[in-house]
Chain A
Amino acid sequence: MRISWQWLTSLLDLPEAARPSAEGLAAILTSVGLEVDGIERVGEGVQAIIVGEIRGKEPHPRADRLTVVALFDGAETLQVVCGAQNLPPVGGKVAFAPVGARLPNGMEIGAREVRGVASNGMICSETELDIGTDDDGILILPESWPAGARLCDQVPGIVDAILEIGVTPNRPDALGHVGVARDVAVKLQCGLRLPELRAPEVPTEPSLVTIDAPARCGRYLGFVVDGVEVGPSPLWMRVRLHRLGLRAINNCVDITNFVLFEQGQPLHAFDRRRLAEGRVVVRMAGASEPFDALDGSKHELSADDLVIADASIPQALAGVMGGARSMVEAGTSELLLEVAWFQPSGIRASARRHALSSDSSYRFERGVDHGEGLDRAALRALQLLGELAGGTCRAKAEGRGEVPARPRIVLRLARVHHLLGMPVGPAEALRILQGLGVEVEHAEPVTPWTCVAPSHRPDLQREVDLIEELMRFHGLDDLPAEATVPSAPADERPDPRADLRDRLTDALREVGLHELVAYAFTHPDKLRPFLGPGGEAAIVHLQNPLRVPLSVMRTHLIPDLLDALEVNVARHSHPLRLFQVGRVYAWRSEVGEAGAIDPRRAADLEVIDALLPEEREEAAILLHGGEAEDARAAVGALVHALARLGYQPRVEPFAADARVAFLHPGVQARIGVRVDDPSAPVAWVGYAGELHPDALVGRELGGRGRAYVGVIDLGKLPPRPTPIASDRPRFPATSRDLSLEIPLGIAASAVVDALALAAAGLCADVTGDRPRLAGDGISPGIEVVEEYRGQGVAEGRRALLLRLHYRAEERTLTDAEVQELHQAIVASACGGLSRPDAEVRVR
């Protein structure tokens, strides 16, 4: 909200010299919680503008649209060329910028020639002076103003500073200058200087106002004002409204806006002659009842909308906007002035429903004063209508509905100390509360006090609210820094899930990957290649996305990595090794029952959590473009990371019917971990492989198509095992190489398993210190050295070179006994692996 420094300080009962500067005012406002976001100096340069009198007008000899004006500046008559078409007749007054003046828009006025005629100064428009938006001709001043007088002396407050303050939603009272001035006055310990108002002595005509919806309209004051002459407002008011960002319309509308910004109370003036039977009915709208707003928009009302109707149709959407039919315009002579209090949440709902927001609805939905402030606003408007528009109040009426009770609050000053850690004394407390309009009953020095909050402060509901007021005005500068000692130690153990996440993150970084953090929402099309059957239904959609590319919560992390890949390819940053640890989102197949959740109480955790989508935590990696990058590198990165966490990683092919659809069918594997010995069951925690070409459709990868990815589901990781110091065998192991020729369909992991199984079978029943595979609980003592495909090996087959390590506990093995065991193991394993259609041969 924009606050005029001139206007605000004029409301303080302070001698001119004691008024705070704009900066001083800003500091005060910020200190009481009305944070000033900026100060704008306005009207600089206007000091040089004077009132000029037209003494003569001649057409320009060489330009039809120009006039040569003889202008009297109070001392002499100057020749000025003017292009405006609205020059007043001789004797009229205009705003004149003499030679040497510098306008607020920066323009320097010099003596110059306009098409051969000398021009000594400039006759200005509102826009050129930055005091209005009317640039349709020059500004015409009242004829009564003396030529040569400074404009700024005729229009006090034209040179001003505008403070932009952020008013928090609990402070409707600070949405008008009087309310803000009240805070400043409490802080400065001075009084307020408010306009003197007199209630008109006119008859009450109850038929003017009917309230049919008392729950939605607490008070409605209606006044009949006639004899109004609609015309422009005086310059001082137009300037003031302009400074606050409003456009001047006509004196009647301007007065309602002026009172809104002064008192914080929205008003509405109807052209009474356009109201059927000249009266208003505050009622709920009929379903689908039409309404044309004065901004030209058309609406179909809901039965939840409150309207101000005449005897037949709605003439205003209550508290939000007036209707086009009864708006005040040139020719209006009789007004019905509305000053009302509407139930806030109803106004908010209507404004949202019809996407209409106005200065009025903004205030009503926060809660305006339903007490004295309402009456004051009405009187102030009547006063101004009388002074500036010639209007006379003829009749009045008041309708009453339900208004909130003013809460009675018990305040204990000891509680202030208890909450803040610093005391506020009774005298100071009393001064602050009373300054704010809080009635304090039996204000003895000893609390508790019973306090009644004023009607303009709907936010003051309970004791802490009053404590906050004391804090605001006492200030926090002398708040001590005094730590209490926590009465119970915190749980020092890190959350095991968070610990796993941190360690996995570190391990992935360690293998040379760079961590990405991407938006958790994405474009649904980007998820599509990754969704299995029924996956669409599990997507969590945003109701109001900023834009379609960010409209759903991600179900997978890989699309984010591909987005980053595209960004980097486009920026020529290659190769790319990325990882991301983050959440993915999906609706559960079972949804809990929402039931009735009481908004005043926190619902049970179980109830709430059953309603929420599942949020799984995953780690995903992407390798692309480097020479060393391939699918095995992706597996390697994950396996390394898992081993780094203390797991025994395990890589296996997927069963044909369990493959990951978005990975290349022939280049993928599942990844698991064990926490105990090699015979413990494997927890399958992820997968890795080459991305399927279909998953890259539409991605701009500059021709470098292949991307290698891997994913680990953190939720599937078992608790991290505690490391155990491994044995240190005393005698060296002996190795034997084995070259097998096998079909491509048999995975190396299957060969190793078969060998390990054969070895286990052959060594199981043997007693004594016999040779056995030199496994150590992590590896089975079988190493896959390399594979070979091509010449000498049939198509569809490959040669696999393995190395088996043997050892005995307490002695060095002889060649012969190793050879014997090795051959037995190989024979048994080959037998186990061979199928009729898949021959396994020793090379």
Chain B
Amino acid sequence: MLVRLQAEQERLLAALAEVADEDALYQLQVAYLGKKGSITALSKELGRVSPDERKRLGAELNRAKAAITEALEGRREALLAEARARDLARVEDLTMPPRRPPFGTLHPLTIARRALIQTFRRMGFDVAEGPHVEHANYNFDALNFQPDHPARDMQDTFGVRDRRGAGDLVLRTHTSPVQIRAMLQRTPPVRIIAPGTVFRCDDDATHSPMFHQIEGLYVDRGVTMADLKATMIQFTAAFFGRALDIRLRPSYFPFVEPGAELDMQCPFCGRARGQTCSVCKGAGWIELGGSGMVHPAVFEAVGVDPEVYTGWAFGFGIDRMAMLMYQIPDLRQMFDGDIRFLQSFPG
């Protein structure tokens, strides 16, 4: 028996040297030490020998078992070390084209609109919307554009073909009808912005038949033009990160009186160091849009007493803001869907 034990032990050591992986090692362990393993089988024979013999053989057997276990463990550790060394010897070139999930993009108009909305919401403005196909009563009349007055020609208007007497419908030429809708739905104070799509019958490099505006309206007791100026300065501070000067120039929009053009100190001067600013052409000012104090006729049209309440309104182009922010040269690029353009705004 001792001889067989010896032989098994030697056979194992020889086999161990051949073992190349964990699986083979496990099978070897089972073959010797498992329930049906050869050493286990030998130990079962112990019951058949004399007690003295059993004690001596038992000790031998235990010693052999321990030696085998140790050999197995040793081999296991060696295998692990080998595997670890092999693993650490791997080389991968991570400068190969990275595998990355494709990312989508938001349209620059969406990015600009959201940034504007977020800014004005922080300043306490609600967001209001309105339909794109609008009744002339809201797009013009209620905004103090008199019927048959040339002021109606200030905005090249798309008419909508009449359908069963729907009346005088147009594609809204500005977001200002939302002023009317907001004032009909709410009682002052009203503090809203109205971002949205507008349409003008005009198409060239700087005009698109569809573009986007953001309108602001603030109506309350004691609202002044000085407040408009302050609010716009606050806006620039929140939007551009620093307060920019605001300049008002007298102008005319039928729904405000007095009316003024709104200029903003150019936030981009100095973007291209040492060169004349390409955005404002060195003027230092950017024409933002129109503004003014809500015309009393507009208040009267919506049933607000102009002796009690005053208000201001402003409006400017979201597209223009996006073009300034992203240096987009041609407005029409915004709308043709060229993926090379769309992809450039990871948002």
Interface residues in chain A, defined as those with a beta carbon under 8 Å from any beta carbon in chain B: 30-33, 35, 168-171, 344-345, 348-349, 365-366, 418-422, 462, 464-465, 467-468, 471-472, 476-477, 479-484, 486-492, 494-495, 498, 502, 505-506, 508-521, 540-546, 550, 553, 560-561, 563-565, 567-568, 571, 573, 576-579, 583, 585, 587, 591-594, 597, 599-605, 608-609, 611-613, 615
Contact = CB atoms under 8 A, between A and B. Distances in A.
Given A31-B250, A349-B148, A543-B158, A520 B197 contact: yes
Contact of B337 (A479, A518, A615): A518
A612 B199 CA distance: 16
Interface string B199-232: 1011100000110000000101111111101110
Interface in B134-186: 134-135, 137-138, 141-142, 147-151, 153-154, 158-167, 169, 171, 180-181, 183-185
Contacts of B203: 546
B196 to A, nearest CB: 10
21 contacts: A31-B250, A32-B250, A33-B252, A170-B252, A418-B222, A464-B296, A471-B250, A479-B248, A482-B227, A483-B231, A486-B189, A487-B189, A488-B220, A490-B126, A542-B158, A561-B337, A564-B337, A600-B300, A602-B302, A608-B135, A612-B131
Contacts of A583: 132, 197
A74 B170 CA distance: 68
Nearest to A538: B163
B102 interface: yes
Interface string B224-247: 111101110110000000000011
Interface residues of B, number: 103
Contact of B224 (A484, A489, A571): A484
A420 B163 CA distance: 44
A542 B251 contact: no
4 smallest A-B Cβ distances: which pairs? A564-B337, A421-B226, A421-B224, A543-B159
Contact of B154 (A169, A348, A494): A169
A169 B149 contact: yes
Nearest to B128: A495
B58 interface: no
A516 B133 contact: no
B282 interface: no
Interface stretch (B61-69, B76-84, B103-111): B103-111
Contacts of B162: 543
A643 to B, nearest CB: 16
Contacts of A613: 133
A168 B253 CA distance: 8
Nearest to A513: B104
A498 B142 contact: no
B114 A550 contact: no
Given A464-B296, A468-B258, A577-B102, A540 B229 contact: no
Given A480-B229, A508-B104, A31 B249 contact: yes
Contact of A544 (B159, B181, B223): B159
Contacts of A170: 151, 252, 254
A264 to B, nearest CB: 15
A476 B225 CA distance: 10
A289 to B, nearest CB: 22
Contacts of B221: 487
A305 to B, nearest CB: 14
Contact of B209 (A482, A519, A579): A519
Contact of B110 (A349, A482, A515, A597): A515
B105 A514 contact: yes
Contact of B165 (A345, A421, A594): A594
Nearest to A495: B127
Given A482-B230, A490-B121, 6 more contacts: A468-B250, A479-B248, A520-B197, A521-B210, A542-B171, A602-B301
B261 A35 contact: yes
B226 A420 contact: yes
Contacts of B248: 476, 479
B101 interface: yes
Contacts of A597: 135, 137, 141, 167
A498 B129 CA distance: 9
Contact of B191 (A344, A481, A486, A512): A486
Contacts of B124: 486, 489-490
Nearest to A609: B131
Interface stretch (B4-12, B18-26, B49-57, B339-347): B339-347
Contacts of B131: 609, 612, 615
Contacts of A519: 209-210, 335
A478 to B, nearest CB: 10
Nearest to A562: B337
Given A520-B210, A521-B209, A611-B169, A515 B220 contact: no
Contacts of A609: 131
Contacts of B181: 605
Given A486-B124, A546-B201, A171 B226 contact: no
A484 B223 contact: yes
Contacts of A505: 106, 110
A567 B201 contact: no
B336 A567 contact: yes
Contacts of A483: 227, 230-231, 234
B295 interface: yes
A577 B135 contact: no
Contact of A518 (B153, B218, B335): B335
B151 A578 contact: no
Contacts of B234: 483
A169 B109 contact: no
Contacts of B161: 540-543
Contacts of A467: 257-258
Contacts of B110: 505, 515, 517
B310 A578 contact: no
Contacts of A492: 121
B334 A517 contact: yes
A571 B141 contact: no
A568 to B, nearest CB: 5
A612 B135 contact: yes
A550 B335 CA distance: 13
B291 to A, nearest CB: 11
Contact of A488 (B102, B107, B189): B189
